[in-house]
């Protein structure tokens, strides 16, 4: 075993260095897309925080999913977050596997260009949607009687811009249609389905996406419509970006570099 490690370690190091050189070159060409996608995550967070000021708690809306799926309870709300965190960090680690493994079907920078482009479009649609109509939040901290259901009028612009991170992100209200968790989940699953190589993981990822959808509803973090709209919106956005946009931008997202 020590001999094996001694012989393979330099090869692994050469692989990492080689991939790093290629990825840095691609990053130099596409850094504006990556940076723009990252900046928009703050804009999306700012919009979600802003709609909380407009939120008016009220009775829960009639929901078919609530009638069919038993409520987990406030003490078990962490289950859906745990599964989402597993999916999120597993995907992030997978996107960097070309640095280590010989087999690869994408460049990490170009993959993240695609993911961020799809993500930004979905989030733009989400912002327009939840600002169009504010629904009474079904989450426990958004219900009538909760001190977190309403935000006091901000005393300064800085208070709004800071978005009360991370508390403001965890205990937000009003940004319902459609589920942000499902945007990330479905986008990651669709990306792995297209560029991943292990069939069992693809099938398991879709199963976990379905389970995550049910857990979000059971945790009363979203109405069923928020999850349903996310399922078809994310799929349509990915299809549109891959197939319909002409020119350089479409080529970049469709990985014509390969």
pLDDT tens sequence for the chain (258 residues): 333 334 455 777 777 888 888 889 999 999 999 999 999 999 999 999 999 999 999 899 999 999 999 999 888 988 999 999 999 999 999 999 888 877 777 889 999 999 999 999 999 999 999 999 989 999 999 998 888 888 888 777 777 777 766 665 678 899 999 999 999 999 999 999 999 989 999 999 999 999 999 999 999 999 999 999 999 999 999 998 887 654 444 444 444 433
- Other beta carbons within 10 angstroms of residue 255's beta carbon come to 17
Please work out, in degrees rounded to the nearest 5, the angle formed at the alpha carbon of residue 180 by the alpha carbons of 177 and 186.
110
| Catalytic residue, candidates 49, 55, 107, 222 | 222
User: What confidence score (pLDDT) does residue 101 get?
Assistant: 79
Whether 137 and 55 have beta carbons less than 8 Å apart is answered as: yes
190 closest CA partner among 91, 98, 93 = 91
CA distance 100 to 110: 17
Backbone angles phi, psi at 80, to 5 degrees: -65, -35
| Catalytic residue, candidates 44, 52, 107, 226 | 226
Check if 181 is active-site.
yes
User: What confidence score (pLDDT) does residue 10 get?
Assistant: 73
Check if 226 is active-site.
yes
Whether 226 and 145 have beta carbons less than 8 Å apart is answered as: no
> Radius of gyration (Cα) for the chain, nearest Å?
21
| Catalytic residue, candidates 63, 107, 181, 193 | 181
């Amino acid at each position: 075993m020590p001999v094996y490690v001694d012989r393979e370690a330099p090869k692994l190091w050469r692989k990492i260095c080689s991939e790093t050189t290629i990825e840095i070159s691609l990053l130099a060409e596409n850094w504006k897309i990556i940076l723009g996608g990252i900046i928009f995550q703050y804009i999306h967070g700012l919009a979600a925080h802003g709609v909380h000021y407009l939120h008016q708690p009220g009775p829960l809306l009639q929901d078919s999913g609530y009638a069919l799926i038993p409520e987990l309870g406030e003490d078990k709300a962490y289950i859906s977050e745990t599964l989402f965190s597993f999916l999120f960090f597993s995907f992030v680690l997978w996107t960097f596997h070309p640095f280590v493994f010989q087999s690869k079907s994408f460049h990490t920078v170009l993959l993240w260009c695609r993911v961020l482009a799809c993500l930004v479009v979905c989030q733009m649609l989400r912002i327009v949607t939840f600002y169009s109509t504010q629904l009474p939040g079904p989450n426990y901290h958004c219900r009538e009687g909760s001190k977190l259901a309403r935000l006091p009028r901000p005393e300064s612009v800085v208070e709004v811009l800071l978005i009360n991170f991370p508390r403001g992100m965890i205990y937000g209200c009003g940004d319902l249609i459609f589920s942000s968790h499902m945007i990330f989940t479905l986008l990651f699953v669709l990306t792995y389905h297209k560029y991943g190589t292990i069939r069992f993981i693809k099938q398991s990822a879709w199963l976990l996406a379905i389970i995550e959808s049910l857990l979000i509803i059971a945790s009363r973090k979203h109405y069923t419509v928020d999850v349903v709209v996310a399922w078809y919106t994310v799929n349509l956005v990915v299809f549109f970006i891959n197939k319909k946009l002409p020119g350089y931008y479409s080529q970049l997202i469709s990985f014509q570099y390969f």
